[in-house]
């Protein structure tokens, strides 16, 4: 959800006005992805590095997230969306963690789109946590001959059980992955747009999805697999299908 600050700056507004506008954009994108029946949408809301921002901005973002949950959870639930969080959530302030846990409990049985919010998230930290979880398991069970494979790693990530993103949308023109879903985006299509997140409208999302559908996906092979996929947004990541076959 990149570009909130710049959006505000261009209007001579404080950065927090950009974050408020960013929440409005998130609401539209979530609703549109759910209507399009994407199985999974991941929004990168707060990175491990974001704690380095001024305390007032961090506090505002935490309040904004709680406000968002309070206001939007009934409609998220009504639309059969399941809320999930990835990241080191145990390090979040207690009230934020409690609200998130309540939201996840409320929507736990929903069968529609999974809305994954990356909060206090970092891709390298996720891999470190996964490797340590595997080591703990190996030690606890005395599995001295154990060898990990790709499935072992995937199953110990925060995203275990979720499809890998097919499309990674990066707003505000940044040409970086910025520590987002490092393992999971191995085969994701990248879409970079100059549009700042608060201006990332339904029309801009549809443009990104149309662009994705034109891509030829070969997964290292020769055959063309056009427009099949799951999606994530680094700004947002979208996951279009649950089909994990055909990886090579
Ligand atoms: C990136 O813009 C945005 C963020 C770091 C915060 C986004 C989080 C929220 C709006 C909280 C609510 C969350 C949800 C899921 C509704 P930036 O500040 O890095 O902008 P810049 O790159 O222009 O400075």
Whichever domain contains 123, its CATH number is: 3.40.1180.10
pLDDT at residue 226 in the model:
63
Question: Residue range 173-188: average pLDDT?
Answer: 96
Instruction: Give a yes or no: residue 124 inside a domain.
Output: yes
Using the mean position of ligand 1's atoms as its centre, give its distance from the Cα of residue 29 in Å: 14
Instruction: Give a yes or no: residue 8 inside a domain.
Output: yes
3-state secondary structure of 30: helix
Q: How far apart are CA 116 and CA 209, in angstroms?
A: 19
Name 242's Cβ contacts closer than 8 Å, sequence gap at least 6: 39, 163, 230
Instruction: Give a yes or no: residue 247 inside a domain.
Output: no
**Is the pTM for the entire model greater than 0.85?**
yes
Q: How far apart are CA 124 and CA 183, in angstroms?
A: 9
Which atom number of ligand 1 is nearest to the Cα of residue 68? 16
| Range of the structural domain that residue 152 is part of | 4-239
Instruction: Give a yes or no: residue 10 inside a domain.
Output: yes
Using the mean position of ligand 1's atoms as its centre, give its distance from the Cα of residue 118 in Å: 11
- The model's pLDDT over 101-136, given as tens digits with 9 standing for 90+, comes to 999 999 999 999 999 999 999 999 999 999 999 999
Instruction: Give a yes or no: residue 244 inside a domain.
Output: no
H runs (alpha helix) in 107-218: 123-140, 150-155, 202-214
Name 235's Cβ contacts closer than 8 Å, sequence gap at least 6: 1, 2, 3, 43, 44, 169, 170, 171, 172, 197, 200
CB distance 168 to 234 below 8 Å: yes
Number of domains in the chain: 1
Instruction: Give a yes or no: residue 248 inside a domain.
Output: no
């Amino acid at each position: 959800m990149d570009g909130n600050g710049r959006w505000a700056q261009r209007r001579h507004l404080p950065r927090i006005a950009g974050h408020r506008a960013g929440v409005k954009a998130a609401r539209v994108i979530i609703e549109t992805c759910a209507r399009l029946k994407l199985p999974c949408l991941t929004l990168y809301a707060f990175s491990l590095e974001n704690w380095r921002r001024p305390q007032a901005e961090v506090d505002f973002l935490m309040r904004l997230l709680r406000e968002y949950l309070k206001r939007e959870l009934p409609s998220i639930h009504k639309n059969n969306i399941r809320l999930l969080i990835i990241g080191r959530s145990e390090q979040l302030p207690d009230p934020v963690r409690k609200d998130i846990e309540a939201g996840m409990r409320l929507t736990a049985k929903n069968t529609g789109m999974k809305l994954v919010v990356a909060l206090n998230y970092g891709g390298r930290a996720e891999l470190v946590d996964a490797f340590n979880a595997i080591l703990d398991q190996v030690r606890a069970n005395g599995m001295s001959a154990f060898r990990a494979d790709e499935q072992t790693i995937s199953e110990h990530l925060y995203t275990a059980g979720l499809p890998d993103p097919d499309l990674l949308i990066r707003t505000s023109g940044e040409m970086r992955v910025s520590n987002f879903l490092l393992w999971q985006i191995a085969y994701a299509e990248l879409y970079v747009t100059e549009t700042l997140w608060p201006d990332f409208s339904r029309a801009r999302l549809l443009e990104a999805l149309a662009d994705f559908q034109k891509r030829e996906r070969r997964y290292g092979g020769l055959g063309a697999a056009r427009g099949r996929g799951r999606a994530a947004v680094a700004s947002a990541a979208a996951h279009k299908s649950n089909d994990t076959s055909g990886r090579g």
